[in-house]
Structure 1
Amino acid sequence: MSGSSGSSGGIGFSSGASSCDSLVITTQLNSPKPAVVERIDVGDELDVRTMQVGSTTTVVAMHDGELAGGIASPDVQKLRECIADGTNYVATVIGKSDGQVTVRVSAR
Structure 2
Amino acid sequence: MADYNESAYEREQSSEGYMSGSGGGGGGGFFDGNSTPCERLIFDAQLSSPKEAVVALLQEQDILPIEMLSIGTTSVVAVLYKDQIAGGIASPAVQRLRQCMTEGYKFKALVISKNDGQVRLRVSGA
1:51 equivalent to 2:64? Answer no
Moved over 3 A (4+): none
2:38 maps to amino acid: C
Structure 2 Cα separation of the partners of residues 28 and 54 of structure 1: 25
Q: Give the corresponding residue for 1:87.
A: 105
Alignment of 1:62-77 (within 5 A): 62-77=80-95
Alpha-carbon shift at residue 51 of structure 1 (Å): 1.5
Per-residue deviation at 1:54? 3.5
Using the TM superposition, give the Cα deviation of residue 100 of structure 1 relative to its aligned residue in structure 2, in angstroms: 1.1
In 1, distance between residues paired with 2:118 and 2:85? Answer: 14
Residue of structure 1 equivalent to 2:60? 42
Indicate the SS of the match to 2:37.
helix
More strand by share: 1
The root-mean-square deviation of aligned C-alpha atoms, in Å, is: 1.5
Shift of 1:23: 0.7
1:46 and 1:55 map into 2 onto residues whose CA distance is 25
Could you tell me how far apart the structure 1 residues matched to 2:117 and 2:96 are?
27
Identity %: 42
- Give the 3-state SS of the residue equivalent to 1:58 in structure 2: strand
- TM-score, scaled relative to structure 2: 0.69
How far residue 106 of structure 1 moved from its aligned partner, in angstroms, is 0.2
Instruction: Give TM-score scaled by structure 1 length.
Output: 0.79
Shift in Å at residue 76 of structure 1? 0.9
SS of 1:43's partner is coil
Q: For 2:116 and 2:84, how far apart are their aligned partners in 1?
A: 20
Amino acid at match of 1:55: T
Query: Secondary structure, in 3 states, of the residue corresponding to 1:39?
Result: coil
Name structure 2 gaps, 5 residues minimum.
1-33
